[in-house]
A and B are shown apart, each in its own frame.
Chain A
Amino acid sequence: MHKLQFFKMIAPGTDNRTLHPPTVTSGGETRPGFWLPVALAALMLLTASMLRTGENRVDVVFIPGVPGTAEALKDNDSVFWLGVDMQIKEGWHIYWRNPGDSGLPTSIRWDPHPSLKPGEIQWPRPARFDENGITTYGYSGRVTLLVPVSVTRDELLPDSGTSGSHGEAQPNGLHVDGDGTETNLSADLNWLVCKDICLPESARITLDVTASGHFTGFSENGVRQIKHSLDMVPEQSAEWQGYAVLDDGHFHITLTPASDHAAIPDLQHVYFYPDRQGLIEHTAPQKAVRDGNKLTIAVPVSRYLRTVPEELSGVLSAGESWIHGKDAPAIEMVLPVSTLSERE
């Protein structure tokens, strides 16, 4: 799941409009210039509620999306990034969306909310953990998972307390529930944290969504952390193209530059992280070779692979950037797979 795909998923115009009073719906169809400040105003009212449980090996808090991250909204004006900030005790690690040979990815179960719709987790690039002859993918230290949250625009109502019963929506006087009460956004988080042993942990965290209070709930640090984490989420690269051929127990990945901006990184640290388990032998070394501008990577196939996948998707990682002029040591790739006989 890539950022751009997500935006398509939450494209405006699909909301249920039956519940809204005429004062708001009379605005009619999309007016981006209007909704941007509305969405941002809603963000100003969000404050993080910290719920730290002392016994967990991982502390989790929400970092609210804030106006300062407007540029992170990219081309959709009713989405903000919510950070799920995880501080992991030294020596322990948690898992990426594909945990590798063992482990579990962090999962989030959201309470339904009338106007805030969380999307899928965007995962910063993972690290590799080799232990006991197996390999897992995940994070140690600190990681901020990112969740795009769309604001269901039509349910943003004027705050009757400050703007009168038929007042226009005012950026500083909005709340996101129709009946004048606050509605917090809550979620149950579950994760597995491992060192030499593994422990399932969980927490319930809440984002306070209040009807009043301006600019008080966010910190510059939070903004910085969300930006930093966004930079760590690999993006689909237009600079590289590739495919994979399954032969002799290996996926032979071939990559060629698709633009002049493609940069060939040091091959020693090239590693392909597949999106799901059961495709490759996570532990086995992946051998990258360069031939002119062409790169090939031999990735041993999992002994548990039963049918040839149509494509191999995942994150291609290196110690250096894949793109000139950009800090992109990891890129998302979707590689069509064929067998040698199909290619002949």
Chain B
Amino acid sequence: MKNRIATYFVLLFCVFFAGSALAEDRKGPEIGKKAPDFTLVDASGKKHTLSEYEGKYVILEWLNHDCPFVVKHYATGNMQMLQEKYRDMGVKWFSIISSAPGKQGYLEPDEAKKVTRDKKAKPTAVLLDPDGKAGRAYDARVTPHMYIIDPDGMLRYMGAIDDRPTANHADVEGARNFVSEALDLLLAGQSVEVTSHQPYGCTVKY
């Protein structure tokens, strides 16, 4: 009898853990809900806390300059164009590097500064997330993985930058860019049509 009760408890325990493991898989931010807050240091050593940017639209871009899918958007000037365009409209743009030290895409602060300059990138800041905490909180899986956060801190878009999941530079032109589409609608006071789209790119090198 005692044995049976013990077995029940063990089973219950297993069910509990199986359940929480599943829940774990589905963790991550949700559209229309509060975006996870974070504090990260940028390439110049300055601290940025997401919640301090309430009142502004914020774009998060997961970044790895050695990833061919990222290269597609920087070599063609597409990413820089978007950064410049929306920053001019008052949007904050953070490029976040979640590569662990020693992994592809990881940059020391000075290197990050230099690469940003060399690529003529125009983000508000390049944020360094070497322990991957912010990346995991957003369930950022690939580079580039894009997120739009509204002035109330709510997540309005997450996923792919556009509808051409390739590394081919020629595919930038004519692609349907979900980020600019969503942001243009939001800035015009309208609701977003595509609020999420399966992201594409290289895996984030946590």
Contact = CB atoms under 8 A, between A and B. Distances in A.
A304 B194 CA distance: 10
A133 B202 CA distance: 13
Contacts of B196: 303-304, 306
A190 B168 contact: yes
Interface residues of A, number: 27
B26 A249 contact: yes
A199 interface: yes
Interface size range of chain B in the complex: 20 to 34
B202 A281 contact: no
Interface stretch (B44-52, B159-167, B183-191): B159-167
Interface in A284-307: 284-285, 300, 302-304, 306
A254 interface: no
A284 B30 CA distance: 18
B195 interface: yes
A300 B25 contact: yes
A132 B67 CA distance: 15
Contacts of B200: 102, 104, 277
Contacts of A134: 141-142, 203
A104 B167 contact: yes
Interface in B169-206: 194-206
A196 B205 contact: yes
With a 10 A CB-CB cut-off, give which of A101, A102, A132, A285 has the most chain B CB atoms. A102
B74 to A, nearest CB: 15
Given A104-B167, A192-B167, A281-B25, A198 B202 contact: yes
Nearest to A104: B166
A278 B197 contact: yes
Contacts of B166: 104
A103 to B, nearest CB: 8
B134 to A, nearest CB: 15
Nearest to B143: A102
A101 B142 contact: yes
B202 A197 contact: yes
Nearest to B104: A197
Interface string B102-138: 0110000000000000000000000000000000000
Contacts of B167: 104, 192, 200
Given A192-B167, A302-B198, A101 B141 contact: yes
B104 to A, nearest CB: 5
Interface in A181-210: 190, 192, 194, 196-200
Contacts of A104: 165-167, 200
B28 interface: yes
Given A102-B202, A303-B196, A306-B196, A199 B26 contact: no
B66 interface: yes
Closest 9 CB pairs of A and B: A278-B198, A277-B198, A304-B198, A200-B167, A284-B25, A197-B104, A200-B68, A132-B203, A198-B202
Interface of A: 101-102, 104, 131-134, 190, 192, 194, 196-200, 249, 277-278, 281, 283-285, 300, 302-304, 306
Given A102-B142, A277-B165, A306-B194, 7 more contacts: A102-B203, A196-B103, A197-B205, A198-B67, A198-B202, A284-B22, A304-B197
